[in-house]
């Protein structure tokens, strides 16, 4: 595959400066192999990024800056994409929520007991069964058919290296690829050369930190890495008055198809699907919330329809 | 209980400035009730703090500074303290590792299957049983006898409020209380009054952050909050040449009994038990590591012996 021609210098400089983690080549090979097999059977495929990225403050890292995200949006969306027939490449923060596994209580030991018939088997309690049975079934159904590939990242650098590699690899899928960029990516970072090796000592008094802006990767991603894909980015704000302006600004700047806009405090019951010339609200009613309905269900259904319409309006590949 | 007289102003100022989270009173009541019941039956009790604290950079927090720690030391130590007969008050970072639950793979769904006999039960796979059976047994043994109380924190502020409340409450246990302060507490923080309300905008260019030093809470803790307890603090460094000097410095400064000193990269196989006039190394051999032995097992055994010796040298309470 040809190396893309950079349009700006800052992201090329960023990639020139970084040292890929040891695991990078292995993860890249795993992604490439998954994408190739899904591409061969012409399945629609979505790259979901999920969870926050860390920005280490020391090379031997004790402290880091992190972004609020446990990966609920990404993990839940992955389940609905699978149910819509997509293959899912799930690129997630280490220890963030996983599709299906997120439905298991972290204290799963409360749901298990040693059988009392002397057989030394461990079984799910009858009172937890109704909740766990569909989860165990769904998990094995998708896992066993090989339509999901899960890969993890921790730092901003590792995330961006894997995002670039996945995007370039997804070119082979043409317009059947969707990118659903739900990860909470740090806007700021400490360049490698400016980082102290050892733990910053607290005896040195107040701590002054200067962070540089992370290069905007959506630009090369849309223009060069995977130009035929359907690209959905996210905008999370705490101040509602900035939200729409920032969503449209991103669409104009990066020329991609869609922004999902949401406010931190209401993100589980209200989101906006924003394109350059449309804006659609998805909102759960109080009754929806009470019944356990999740906003990702109507959202992913909309995106899947939108993607199908895009595909049917293009010449077949 | 009388309010302690402050010896320095910085920690009193810190507590005057903070706004306790809504859940604080409920958590405090839960701790008080647990400590009271354990004190009545004269059981040895240990407060274990575990996991990292966050330092929010915005009031409606999207970004924060965090400390590297998933809570392995704390969760593993809690298990060995329980096995040594201690009651355990486990004060841990939200979503960090928990005693016993940490032994369950995060992908526990791989260990479960729906039975094929049509009975719709969910059972642990035979090949996972050997690993999970003792975990399920131990968990229920300690949970069901009420000798463990688990409470969570997220921010530095919440941690310090709970630590102070737990310490003061533990006074009633006299020298039978141990404090095992394994949490990775941030040395720096952004004072409440200096924090922006909304998410910092990346369009504003490079990010300049100034953090102030966190007041050293060991000082009032040892002198005023819980003066009769056996107090063990931790020192984690990346630079071996600083380790012992910093451990002894802490003992001289705060006048507590013990520092567990360790280096980030070797912390799972080598630790030093440091007191003002002694230094003992605990190290796992290669054979120990291969057989799955954990360094917390000999460590907690030493601490338990040390604590028993201290208790038997004091007049009975």
- Decide if B133 and A114 are in contact by the 8 Å CB cutoff: yes
Taking contacts as CB-CB distances below 8 angstroms, the residues of chain B near A201 are 242
CA distance A262 to chain B (A): 13
Q: What is the 8-class DSSP label of residue B54?
A: B
The set of residues, in sequence order, having a beta carbon less than 8 Å from that of A121 and lying 6+ positions away, is: A114, A115, B123, B124, B129
CA distance A16 to chain B (A): 20
**Optimal mutation site among A57, A58, A63, A253, interface B, most CBs of chain B within 10 A:** A63
pLDDT tens for each residue of A279-315: 999 999 999 999 999 999 999 999 999 999 999 997 6
Rounded Cα distance, A100 and A102, in Å: 5
pLDDT tens for each residue of B68-109: 899 999 999 999 999 999 999 999 999 999 999 999 877 899
Taking contacts as CB-CB distances below 8 angstroms, the residues of chain A near B143 are 109
pLDDT tens for each residue of B232-277: 999 999 889 999 999 999 999 999 999 999 998 999 999 999 999 9
**pLDDT at residue A316 tops 60:** no
**Optimal mutation site among B95, B109, B135, B214, interface A, most CBs of chain A within 10 A:** B109
A220-259 burial, b for 16+ CB within 10 Å, e for fewer? bbbbbbbeebbbbbbbbbbeeebbbebbbebbeebebbbb
**pLDDT at residue A6 tops 50:** no
- Decide if B206 and A210 are in contact by the 8 Å CB cutoff: yes
Rounded Cα distance, B66 and B52, in Å: 7
**Tokens representing residue B106 in the block:** 């995060």
Taking contacts as CB-CB distances below 8 angstroms, the residues of chain A near B57 are 65
CA distance B181 to chain A (A): 17
Rounded Cα distance, B10 and B40, in Å: 35
Q: Indicate the residue of B60, B67, B200 with minimum beta-carbon distance to A264.
A: B60
**Optimal mutation site among A122, A189, A196, A241, interface B, most CBs of chain B within 10 A:** A122
Rounded Cα distance, B103 and A104, in Å: 15
Least confident span in A181-195, A211-225, A254-268, B216-230? A181-195
- Decide if A95 and B184 are in contact by the 8 Å CB cutoff: no
Angle between helices B296-312 and B72-83 (to 10 degrees): 50
CA distance A136 to chain B (A): 6
User: For the whole model, what pTM was predicted?
Assistant: 0.90
CA distance B105 to chain A (A): 11
Let me know the angle formed at the C-alpha of A122 by A118 and A123, rounded to the nearest 5 degrees.
110
- What DSSP assignment string belongs to B189-218? E--GGG--SSPPPGGG-SEEEEEEEPP-TH
- What DSSP assignment string belongs to A233-257? EEEEES-HHHHHHHHHHHHHHH--S
Place B204 in a pLDDT band, splitting at 50, 70 and 90: low
Q: What is the mean pLDDT of residues A116-139?
A: 91
Rounded Cα distance, A47 and A168, in Å: 12
- Decide if A211 and B209 are in contact by the 8 Å CB cutoff: yes
- Is A30:A163 a contact under the CB 8 Å cutoff? no
**Tokens representing residue A47 in the block:** 């790259």
The set of residues, in sequence order, having a beta carbon less than 8 Å from that of A100 and lying 6+ positions away, is: A79, A135, A138, A139, A142, B109
């Amino acid at each position: 595959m040809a190396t893309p021609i950079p349009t700006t210098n800052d992201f090329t400089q960023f990639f020139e400066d970084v040292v890929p983690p040891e695991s990078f080549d292995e993860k890249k090979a795993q992604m490439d192999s998954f994408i190739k097999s899904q591409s061969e059977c012409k399945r629609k495929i979505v790259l979901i990024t999920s969870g926050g990225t860390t920005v280490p403050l020391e090379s031997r890292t004790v402290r880091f800056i992190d972004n609020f995200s446990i990966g609920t949006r990404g993990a839940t969306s992955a389940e609905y994409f699978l149910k819509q027939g997509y293959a899912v490449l799930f690129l997630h923060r280490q220890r963030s929520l996983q599709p299906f596994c997120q439905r298991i209580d972290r204290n799963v030991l409360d749901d298990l007991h040693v059988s009392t018939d002397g057989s030394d088997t461990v079984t799910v309690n009858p009172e937890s069964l109704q909740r766990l049975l569909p989860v165990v079934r769904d998990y094995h159904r998708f896992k066993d058919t090989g339509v999901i590939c899960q890969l993890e990242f921790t730092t901003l650098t590792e995330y961006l290296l894997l995002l670039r590699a996945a995007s370039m690899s997804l070119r082979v899928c043409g317009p059947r690829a969707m990118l659903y960029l739900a990860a909470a990516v740090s806007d700021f970072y400490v360049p490698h050369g400016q980082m102290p090796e050892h733990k910053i000592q607290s005896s040195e008094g107040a701590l002054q930190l200067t962070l540089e802006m992370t290069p905007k990767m959506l630009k090369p991603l849309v223009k060069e890495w995977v130009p035929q894909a359907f690209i959905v980015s996210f905008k999370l704000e705490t101040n509602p008055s900035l939200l729409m302006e920032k969503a449209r600004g991103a669409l104009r700047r990066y020329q991609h198809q869609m922004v999902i806009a949401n406010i931190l405090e209401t993100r589980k019951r209200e989101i906006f699907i924003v394109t350059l010339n449309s804006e659609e609200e998805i909102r759960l009613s109080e009754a929806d919330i009470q019944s356990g309905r999740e906003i990702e269900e109507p959202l992913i259904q909309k995106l899947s329809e939108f993607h199908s319409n895009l595909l049917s309006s293009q010449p077949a590949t």
